[in-house]
Each structure stands twice: as structure tokens, then as C-alpha cells.
């Protein structure tokens, strides 16, 4: 992969250890981000760090999230502040023969940049549709359009990604060589985040079909795979 | 519930909006924390916020996590620094008749306090066993004990919880009253994080039974329920 398809490595995103788990290429970092519905966002107000879970999505090298214009997070980020956005998938728990080698399999991305609130109203309208359609392809055209009060009450934050690092553990039990002969049960137990059966709104009008854009949201399907597919339907290469 | 069974409310953990989602009682906050394997930890180094996903657990009003003594997070937290620890469970996605009312169901806790590295070696040994047993009841007695090098290479961080706030959304589609008559498909789709079938280490000795403490880790069982049960087996009331 050409060098320009990787994120630059600085003191912020350099891995201090476990270098074999590091991923800096955009393809891998993007897939981890685009498979996630919720990220955790670290930001600082008056020296106090906050870690807020929130829905988010990516366009090119920019991350977006939104919130109430009255929320602490949005007010704290309006001025252009450094943030760290982290998305994490837990894939397995790993039980080794020593406590030291107990682990989990995961895919995570930490992305760094400066966040600021989007003030342009046309761009806000584009983002309101974009967030819905990124998750549920085509849905913005099927729902009741946003009204002026909703646009005012909703703030979007944009963070161009300055640096990012992915981290992946996807192997099996990894014990010290001399421990494999010990009579200790050791195993990897997969973890999956899956969808259930859709529960229609109790006040749903009769005779409505599931929209075509929702066909990927099938019961028992992994959420990460569903979200990545939806992402690629909305943002084709 | 008596007042002393709730966390104090300050400017840090006060909810700015959606007050009906707030939970400050210890019973609810504890359950959300004790059902989670991974938390995201926000901390600041030289003005830059970081958001690191990591395994963690609770004892009374203290949170613990660990890492390599060489990691950026551990070195950044050794001196006693303000942190915010957030645990989040995604329970459903909610598709409403307007973009504004699209939502997710979730349970989350933000916990605030000052983190510092545990230096007492006996306490470190207790925590090494405690972390394993909190997840996998009784397992610390079944595995190869930690050696001196492992104790040295592993750092534990303790954060007494000064304040915490839980937030829960667990309802169905909630639309504006005048929108319910629109011919728009609206639904709640449950999301569950579930365990798979245990995959024994390929170098496992023959004839080893699954330990009794692992019987709760059954395929298709929700991880949060499994972790909460394991927690209560290890820390009975």
C-alpha cells in the first residue's frame, strides 16, 4: 500500500509496545471505524477529561458526531478543541495458562484531531441526512424531513483526522512455551454483537413493508458486518 | 433508596439534559459497570486527551485497570491524574419516523476520580488474582502463578470513584405525536453481545474438563449477563 494511504505516525499515535498489533493504513483504520455505531470521545473541559459514548461516522478523513446543542460535550467542543475518538470491537476472550497471558481479541482505532461545531445550515442539513443514510441506506428520503426547530436543536461536530492508529489482536491463546504442558484448561471464546428481530413500533400503520435499505439488518447478523455493508451502500467507492 | 446509596451530584456528573435517563444510585451504576468487560478511559497528557479501551473491574467504590508498565496510559496515570472511565452497553437501535427521533437504547456509566498506580507488591498480587477471578470465578487457583518478572511488568491503576452518573434509554420508538399517522416504517431492533462456543487451545492437553468457574460462559449467552453473574460469584454480597 502506498505511503500516502497510511496515517502519519507521531508521538501521539505511535505504539509504545505490542508493535505487531499496530495498523496505520487507511484501509484497516477505515474498516474498523465504519463497522462501529458508537465511539467514545475524550475531551477536556477546565482540565477535567470526559469520555462520552456517542454515535458517529466517517467521511473521507473526517469524523462526525452530533448532540443536543445544549449538551456539555457540544458546548465544550464548539471552540475547536483537541479530542481523541476511539472505536472498539470486542471479538473474543482468551483464557491462557497464566494470568499474565489472559487477553481479549479486539479491533480498535484511536483517532486524534481538533473538533469544532459545524455552523453552516446547509452543511448541517446535509449531515443530518448523511448520518441517517450512512446507517440505514436511503432512509433520509423515506422519513419526515427535519424542521427548523430540530435543525437548531441539533449540533454536529467535525473532526478532521490528523493521526490515527488501529490495533488488532486476532490470534489464539499465546502462552509461554514451558506452560503449554501444564494441565490447565485454556481457550478462546468468541464474542459477537448481533442484531435481534425487528420490533415494529406498536403504533405502526398497517401494511407497511420493511424498507429495501433495511434488508441488511437481519436477525442474528453481526452488527459490525451489517454496518460496514450499509456504509458501502451509502458511500460506494 | 437512602441518600448515601447514591453518588453525589456535582458540576461534573450532573446531566445537562434528558434528566429522565439519569441514574445516580449505586445499585444501578454498579450493575452497569459489573456487566462490562471493557471500559474507555479518558486522560490528559500535556493537554492532549487520550481515550484508551481497556479491561477493568470494580471493588466497592474503586475501579481498577491494568496495563504494561511501559505503556503510555500507565506512565501518564502514575502521578495521580484526573480521569473519566466510561462503560457502555448498546441494547438496541431505534428507527423513528423523523431523523431527529432516531436513537439507540443503551446503558452507560461515566465515573470520575483521580487515578494512581498501585505500588505495593502484595496489593499488586491481590489485584492480579482479583482481576482473573472477577471474570472467571476461582481461576486464579487453577493457573500458573505469576512470576516476579510478570509482577514487575504489570501495573495496576486504582481510581476511587468520586462521582458517577448512569444513563439508560430502554424505551421504544418515541415520535412526535403528529408523526405517528405517517406511513413510515419505524422499529426497534435489539442488539446483543453474545458468547460463542469455546475454542480450546490447539495445544491443550487431552482429558481436561471445562473448569466449574467457566460454566456460566455458555454459547449464545449474553456477555453482560455472564459477567454480572461471574462478578457476584466472586464478590458475594
Does pTM top 0.90 for this prediction?
yes
The 3-state DSSP class for residue A228 equals: helix
Average pLDDT, chain A: 94
Which three cell numbers, joined as nine digits, stand for B66? 491494568
Q: What percent of chain A lies above the pLDDT cut of 90?
A: 85
* B43 to chain A, closest Cα gap in Å: 6
Most confidently predicted of A12-16, A39-43, A74-78:
A39-43
pLDDT cut 70: percent of chain A above it: 98
pLDDT, tens digit, 9 for 90 and up, residues A71-127: 888 888 888 899 999 999 999 999 999 999 999 999 999 999 999 999 999 999 999
Is A181 in contact with B203 (CB distance < 8 Å)? no
Q: Do A150 and B49 touch (CB under 8 A)?
A: no
- Chain A positions touching B110 (Cβ under 8 A) are 50-52
Mean pLDDT computed over every residue of chain B:
94
- B46: Cα separation from own chain's centroid: 27
**Using a CB-CB distance cutoff of 8 angstroms, which residues of chain A are in contact with residue B192?**
193-194, 196
Count of Cβ atoms closer than 10 Å to residue A33 Cβ: 24
Give the total number of structural domains in chain B. 1
| Site of grid cell 435489539 | B190
| Predicted confidence (pLDDT) per residue in B90-100, tens digit | 999 999 999 99
A137 is a domain residue: yes
Nearest-CA distance from A122 to chain B in Å? 16
Instruction: Nearest chain A residue to B144 by CA: give it.
Output: A98
Distance CA A97, CA B195 (A): 21
Which of A45-49, A78-82, B196-200: highest mean pLDDT? B196-200
pLDDT > 50? residue B105: yes
C-alpha cell at B13: 456528573
State how far the Cα of A190 lies from the Cα of B183, in Å rounded to an integer: 40
Look at residue A202 and tell me if it is in a domain: no
**Residue burial A168-193, b: 16+ Cβ < 10 Å; e: rest:** bbeebbebeeebbeeebbbbbbbbbb
CB contact under 8 A, A190 and B203: no
Helix (H, G, I), strand (E, B) or coil at B121: helix
A8: containing domain: 3-192
Res B4: pLDDT = 67
CATH number at residue A74: 2.30.110.10
* Contact in structure between A130 and A59 (CB atoms under 8 Å): yes
Asked if B187 and A205 come within 8 Å (Cβ–Cβ), the reply is no
Option in A49, A172, A188 nearest B83 (CB): A49
Q: Do A38 and B90 touch (CB under 8 A)?
A: yes
CB A66 within 8 A of CB A29: no
Percentage above 70 pLDDT, chain B: 98
What is the CA B221 to chain-centroid distance, rounded?
Answer: 18
Please provide residue B110's backbone torsions phi and psi, each rounded to the nearest 5 degrees: -110, 125
**Cβ-defined contact of B179 to A144 (cutoff 8 Å):** yes
CA distance A58 to chain B (A): 18
Question: Cβ separation of B144 and A184 shorter than 8 Å?
Answer: yes
Helix (H) or strand (E) holding B135: helix B121-135
- Helix, strand, coil percentages (3-state) for chain A, rounded to 5, are 30, 40, 35
Count Cβ atoms below 10 Å from residue A106 Cβ, excluding itself: 21
A200, A174 Cβ separation under 8 angstroms:
no
Subunit contact B192:A196, Cβ cutoff 8 A: yes
Residue A67 in this model has a pLDDT that exceeds 90: no
Residues A62-78: what's their mean pLDDT? 87
Whether the pLDDT of residue B224 is over 50: the answer is yes
pLDDT greater at residue A100 or residue A3:
A100
Q: Please state the rounded mean pLDDT for residues B29-53.
A: 96
Per-residue pLDDT reduced to its tens digit, A168-204: 999 999 999 999 999 999 999 999 999 999 999 999 9
Average pLDDT over residues B150-175: 96
Q: How far is B71 from chain A (nearest CA, A)?
A: 6
Q: Could you give the C-alpha distances from B207 to A97, A99, A184, B130, B210, in angstroms and in order?
A: 16, 22, 10, 28, 10
Task: Assess if residue A26 is contained within a domain.
Answer: yes
- Identify the residue among B9, B19, B53, B150 best suited for mutation to test binding to A, counting A beta carbons within 10 A and taking the highest: B53
Contacts of B191 in chain A (CB under 8 A): 193-196, 223
Q: Would you state the cell numbers that stand for residue B25, as one nine-digit string?
A: 444510585
| Cβ pair A140:B196 closer than 8 A | no
pLDDT of residue B1: 45
Pair B83, B113: CB distance under 8 Å: yes
Neighbour tally for A141: CB within 10 Å: 11
Please give the grid coordinates belonging to residue A145: 424531513
DSSP state of B230: H
Q: Of B49, B143, B145, which is closest to A43 when you measure between CB atoms? A: B49
Chain A positions touching B49 (Cβ under 8 A) are 42-44, 49, 82-84
pLDDT the model gives residue A51: 97
B12:A48 CB<8 A:
yes
For the cut 70, the answer to whether the pLDDT of residue A4 exceeds it is no
Cross-chain Cβ contact A99/B140 below 8 Å:
yes
Residues in chain A: 237
Phi, psi of B112 (to 5 degrees): -115, 145
Q: What are B95's three cell numbers?
A: 428507527
Tell me the H-state helices in A50-195. Answer: 72-77, 121-135, 148-153
Q: Given this model, what pLDDT does residue A1 score?
A: 45
What pLDDT is recorded for position B74? 84
Q: Closest residue of B to A150, CA-based?
A: B100
* Cβ-based contacts under 8 A for chains A and B: 281
Amino acid at each position: 500500500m502506498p505511503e500516502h494511504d497510511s496515517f502519519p505516525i507521531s508521538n501521539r499515535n505511535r505504539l509504545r509496545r505490542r508493535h505487531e498489533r499496530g495498523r496505520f493504513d487507511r484501509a484497516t483504520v477505515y474498516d474498523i471505524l465504519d463497522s462501529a455505531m458508537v465511539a467514545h470521545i475524550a475531551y477536556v473541559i477546565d482540565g477535567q477529561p470526559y469520555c462520552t459514548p456517542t454515535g458517529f461516522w466517517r467521511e473521507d478523513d473526517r469524523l462526525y458526531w452530533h448532540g443536543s446543542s445544549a449538551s456539555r460535550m457540544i458546548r465544550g467542543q464548539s471552540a475547536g478543541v483537541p479530542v481523541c475518538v476511539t472505536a472498539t470491537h470486542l471479538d473474543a476472550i482468551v483464557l491462557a495458562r497464566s494470568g499474565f497471558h489472559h487477553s481479549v481479541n479486539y479491533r480498535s482505532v484511536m483517532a486524534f484531531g481538533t473538533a469544532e461545531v459545524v455552523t453552516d445550515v446547509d452543511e448541517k442539513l446535509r449531515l443530518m441526512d448523511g448520518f441517517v443514510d450512512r446507517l440505514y441506506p436511503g432512509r433520509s428520503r423515506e422519513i419526515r424531513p427535519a424542521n427548523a426547530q430540530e435543525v437548531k436543536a441539533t449540533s454536529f461536530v467535525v473532526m478532521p483526522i490528523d493521526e490515527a492508529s488501529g490495533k488488532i489482536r486476532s490470534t489464539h491463546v499465546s502462552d509461554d512455551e514451558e506452560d503449554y504442558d501444564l494441565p490447565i484448561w485454556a481457550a478462546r471464546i468468541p464474542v459477537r454483537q448481533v442484531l435481534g428481530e425487528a420490533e415494529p413500533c406498536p403504533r405502526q400503520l398497517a401494511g407497511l413493508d420493511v424498507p429495501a435499505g433495511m434488508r441488511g439488518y437481519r436477525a442474528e447478523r453481526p452488527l459490525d458486518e451489517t454496518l460496514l455493508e450499509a456504509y458501502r451502500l451509502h458511500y460506494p467507492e
